[in-house]
Structure 1
Amino acid sequence: MALRVVGVDPGLTRCGLSVVDVAANRKVELIDVTVAGTPPGTPLDARLLTIADAIDAWLDKHQPDVLALERVFASANVSTVIGTAQVTGVIILAAARRNIPVALHTPTEVKAAVTGSGQATKAAIGKMVAKICRLDEPPKPADAADAVALAIAHGWRGAAVGSNASASESAARTGSQQLTAAQQAWIAAEASSKHRAARR
């Protein structure tokens, strides 16, 4: 039975939404993808409401097993980080109300899982998403492709060892000799992320 994963690339202006089905053999079927957008000049409460309505409709329509969400990281643009964090809270709440597990992944982890490199460009991510999902071209805009990449990355892990297991736990269960180069890069990225968090 396939694992259904909703992937969300959170943002106030563009929030990427995707849903994929991932079989036990790691074959991915893209079910749907879109971007929920709000104009920058709109009041914050209205923007959050628009995104909340979009994610509610998305989850009710697709009934996922798990929701994969990009983990918010600090950057030079504080206003962007705050907005993304606010959207993230809305999304987590929507999932919690439906008892849908939420998995947070860093951009580096997702890049490593999908492309084999934690430093991959958005163009490379889009290209691999199109290849994995057997599409003629990557989903557009880039936020849509990123949402699909999130769903794929988590789905590959979840289909193999259960949606709540970490990449390192996956390696322990399946044996590192069975991991692809992308999976091994993902484990390294996850370990690096945990190491940085422990030092804070």
Structure 2
Amino acid sequence: MRILGIDPGLRTTGFGVIDAVGQTRVYVASGCIRSGEGSLPARLKVLLEGISEVCQRYQPQQSAIEQVFVNVNPQSTLLLGQARGAAISALVLANLPVAEYTALQVKQAVVGNGHAAKEQVSHMVQRLLSLSGEPQSDAADALACALAHANHATGGLANIGMKSRRGRWVSI
């Protein structure tokens, strides 16, 4: 199963593509889509087209996207939500099923601690996918989202007695 993970952001949206074969996870590609400056509609168009291009190039069968958390600044939260909407639109237009995970779920699935630092997530992504170096932050978060989905979709978390409850993975 090929999975596309998305870490949405208005300035920078990370993407990560992995293959899940049984319990093996194989790195395919990752990177960032940068929307640059300009009007909001123009920036959202860049994100929509960028994710559409990634979908066309790598032909994923599943997608996973991180859910938006509420920021201290409501304006930032709204902008992030619009970027996330553009990303979801691109995934839906590519006929992909879209799974959503909280940051806590992603961190818990990859690091084992829902409150792990970004550096810990990046380091574990590097180790789990046998990468020669740590990916850039947004790409690492997207790969982590794809890994969380691979674990969830293949029953990996259920197999070790975990289920989702209120945005966290808990023991069954």
Report the equivalent of 1:80.
76
Whether the 8 Å contact between 1:14 and 1:35 is mirrored in structure 2 is: yes
In 1, the alpha carbon distance for the partners of 2:95 and 2:118 equals 32
In 2, the alpha carbon distance for the partners of 1:100 and 1:34 equals 19
Report the equivalent of 1:20.
18
Q: What are the Cα deviations for residues 109-154 of structure 1, in whole angstroms up to 9, with x where unaligned?
A: 00000011011000000000000010122101x1110000000110
Report the equivalent of 1:51.
47
Helix, strand or coil: the match of 2:165?
Answer: helix
Which amino acid in structure 2 is aligned with residue 193 of structure 1?
Answer: G
In 1, the alpha carbon distance for the partners of 2:90 and 2:67 equals 16
In 2, the alpha carbon distance for the partners of 1:136 and 1:79 equals 38
Whether the 8 Å contact between 1:4 and 1:155 is mirrored in structure 2 is: no
- TM-score normalised per structure 2: 0.91
Structure 1 ranges of 4+ moved more than 4 A: none
Q: What are the Cα deviations for residues 52-106 of structure 1, in whole angstroms up to 9, with x where unaligned?
A: 1101101111111111000112110222211211111112222222221000000
Q: Are residues 1:113 and 2:87 paired? A: no
Q: CA deviation at 1:160?
A: 3.3
Alignment of 1:4-153 (within 5 A): 4-24=2-22, 26-39=23-36, 41-140=37-136, 142-153=137-148
> Where is the helix percentage greater, Structure 1 or Structure 2?
1
Helix, strand or coil: the match of 1:30?
Answer: strand
Please tell me the root mean square deviation across aligned C-alpha atoms, in Å.
Answer: 1.6
* Percentage of identical aligned residues: 31
- TM-score normalised per structure 1: 0.79
- Structure 2, unpaired ranges of 5+: none
Helix, strand or coil: the match of 1:150?
Answer: helix
- Tell me how many residue pairs correspond in the alignment: 168
In 2, the alpha carbon distance for the partners of 1:135 and 1:100 equals 26
Q: CA deviation at 1:29?
A: 0.8
> Where is the strand percentage greater, Structure 1 or Structure 2?
2
Whether the 8 Å contact between 2:101 and 2:167 is mirrored in structure 1 is: no
Whether the 8 Å contact between 2:2 and 2:18 is mirrored in structure 1 is: yes
Q: CA deviation at 1:193?
A: 2.6
Q: Are residues 1:192 and 2:166 paired? A: yes
Helix, strand or coil: the match of 1:76?
Answer: coil
Whether the 8 Å contact between 1:18 and 1:34 is mirrored in structure 2 is: yes
